Amino acid sequence: MIPLDASAIQDPTLPWHVSVLEEVGSTSDWLKQQASDLPPNTVVFAESQTQGRGRRDNRWIAPRGKDLMLSLLFKPEAPLERWPRITTLAALAICRAIEDELPLQPRIKWPNDVYLSDHKVSGLLAETVSTRTGLMLVLGIGLNVNAREFAPGVVATSLLNELHSPALPELDRNSLAQRLLSMLHSEFQRLDADFSSAVAEVRERSWLLGRQIRALTPQGEVFGRVLDLNEEGHLILEFPNGTSHTLTSADEVRRV
């Protein structure tokens, strides 16, 4: 196992301040607790998380030293009402980082997952945090890199598994982490001025477009076919009765 190395991940041309923790409950919780004492654009990686989590407090379980578990603390350069776009841009950045490093074709499962071969390879969660200098965003990302096995019933995969090369011992997590931070910085520049073209790229990578889905929303369960994405990257659904509806949020989305 090649350990994560902050100096190998850090790119001096980018604004991120990178650190690596050996073990932490949750990188996002750690950043939220320390937010007022940390500079903006702080990124923390962990070799092991004991309380990693995703949406609805679902646990994110990963073997020590195999994958990428990180969180970023930053203030998006856009009005607050546009901050939800960060999730869309981050998912696109994850895809681009994978595509640049490996011969794989990731797909985006709205609202916050990345899939390979119909299995989850990455998830993300954006949360706001109040600091002494104002409101900031904490973005947590989990990316399965070198894990070979997953718990029974978990529909997941890793980058290494998808390469179908048993002789390959492991992928370079430091190189992948540096590429990911570069792609995140690049995509975040599109938050305000160029978001429509980002949505077009997300549309090309959508895992749900044209599919029948079941979504659990705050208003209840809905069924429909995904017709398109709107200008904010939300799903446009066609219901069985022929009417359409824009899905702006969901706790759970499944293809049926």
- Predicted pLDDT of residue 62: 78
Same domain for 32 and 83? yes
pLDDT of residue 11: 98
93 & 146 share domain: yes
Give the model's pLDDT for residue 124.
96
The answer on 221 and 189 residing in a single domain is: no
pLDDT string in tens for the chain (256-residue length): 899 999 999 999 999 999 999 999 999 999 999 999 999 999 999 999 997 665 555 566 778 999 999 999 999 999 999 999 999 999 999 999 999 999 999 999 999 999 999 999 999 999 999 999 999 999 999 999 999 999 888 899 999 999 999 888 899 999 999 999 999 999 999 999 899 999 999 999 999 999 999 999 988 999 999 999 999 999 999 999 999 999 999 999 999 9
Last residue of a domain, one of 161, 178, 204: 204
Same domain, 147 and 39: yes
Within its chain, how far is the Cα of 20 from the centroid? 19
pLDDT at residue number 152: 87
pLDDT reported for residue 59: 65
The enclosing domain of 168 has a CATH number of 3.30.930.10
Distance CA 198, CA 23 (A): 35
Asked if residue 1 is part of any domain, the answer here is no
Range(s) of the domain holding residue 223: 212-255
Question: Is 244 a domain residue?
Answer: yes
Q: Half-sphere exposure of 176 toward its Cβ, with a 13 Å CA cutoff?
A: 26
Q: Are residues 13 and 37 in the same domain?
A: yes
Task: Report how many domains make up the chain.
Answer: 2
The pLDDT score that the predictor gives to residue 58 is 59
pTM for the model stands at: 0.95
